Copies of this chain bind each other. A is one copy, B any other.
């Protein structure tokens, strides 16, 4: 464990922090579990956690119901979340006005990863966690994943393990602690506290938990539907420093240089911040919560609330019987997207430094209208009916990329506690065709600048946070 700074002295950022993270990033073999050991542990956990999830009628959920006047779907306790309506008007994009259902979950939850030095290398305590919406049941999740309703135990379940490590963390042990948004198309102003806390030797891995290095986790990120969205967003917020040594490939070397502030970039950080401010000032979006029953073009049947043309997503209900959750059976609503999404980051080097092309994206559920998104973020199926000129820029390019230019290509799941079978194809594609002068609404950032923005709230959206982790894994 890293020594505590002497009391009575002034403190500075720990200069060894980034090299300790770097060492863990490079440790592709763990000090606790090798690959075979991890596979055996995971298979074991998958056998142990057998949940049965089946769809049920919306009105048959115990403790969930539709409010009489508004038609909003909520829990009798008034906690957890509600499904409500939202009416949106905006001055940007091809569609300027619409209404839709949205999940309203105003509480701030905790997504926390505990890290501990084992044989001189930082290891992350990850959890094999079954979520009802996952296509494959168990995925690798943070140490703690707790809504405020969870940890105030509204549902009367068991105590969330390891939670005090985060709620009562010693400030000097906190490596990351930042509020970040989640899907602004599906959530109304949802934020979670993304935390990484260093813990001592006394913290051991419980039954559903294991210690993995950052390098192991990034390797596992390349497998479909394995590292959960919650784990990915927390990993993206770590204070990575510049990479060390020379990269083994030109791409790796350009990425390493991109992580070092001193290499510079196409734009200074002051310019990047000014561009973001300009995007906020330019775009207007008014999102007004409305009763769910007042949402035009969506209709409710026994089993789902769906768009009349079958687009976007459905709200459905599931019954879950579990053997390893806080409570053993429950029903809940889930949001089921139509089609697999795509989230792609175009990258290229300028003067030997890798740059990523981000897009200032407007989503109705964001607290502040605009966040930086991947170059392309879309559900292709939703654009089938949209005229070619209005399809998202670069979409066609990333749907059919040159395989030699693809640095990352994996289908990953979104949060299985709220979404049913929500999957996104995450791509990192090198492309030299986009000029230094990015098109309006797009901007070239270095990895260093992304990492710096990730220390603050509401700059980088959840899909771009996943892709930042993917970039480190590429």
Contacts and interface: CB of A to CB of B under 8 A. Distances in A.
A12 B268 contact: yes
Contacts of A179: 277, 280-281
A385 B178 CA distance: 38
A263 interface: yes
A152 to B, nearest CB: 12
A266 B11 contact: yes
B274 A174 contact: yes
A262 B367 contact: no
Contact of A367 (B175, B271, B367): B367
Contact of A268 (B13, B178, B193, B350): B13
By size class, the interface of chain A is 35 or more
B9 A174 contact: no
Contacts of A13: 268-270
B273 A177 contact: yes
Contact of A275 (B171, B239, B267): B171
A14 B270 CA distance: 10
Contact of A12 (B8, B262, B350): B262
B10 A351 contact: yes
Contacts of A10: 263-266, 350-351, 353
B11 A270 contact: no
A22 B456 CA distance: 27
A56 interface: no
A108 interface: yes
A34 interface: no
A206 B305 CA distance: 61
Contacts of A11: 264-268
A171 B281 contact: no
B271 A174 contact: yes
A368 interface: yes
Given A177-B277, A367-B368, A172 B263 contact: no
Tell me which of A9, A265, A281, A350 has the highest count of chain B C-beta atoms within 10 A of its own C-beta.
Answer: A281
A14 B268 contact: yes
Contacts of A368: 367, 457
Given A14-B268, A280-B108, A456-B456, A273 B178 contact: yes
A320 to B, nearest CB: 27
A278 interface: yes
Nearest to A456: B456
A42 to B, nearest CB: 32
A105 to B, nearest CB: 13
A369 to B, nearest CB: 10
A340 interface: no
6 contacts: A9-B351, A10-B266, A11-B264, A172-B268, A177-B274, A193-B277
Closest 10 CB pairs of A and B: A10-B264, A177-B274, A12-B264, A171-B271, A108-B281, A174-B274, A177-B277, A10-B351, A13-B268, A193-B281
Given A8-B351, A108-B280, A273-B455, 9 more contacts: A10-B263, A11-B266, A11-B267, A106-B284, A169-B274, A178-B273, A178-B277, A273-B456, A367-B367
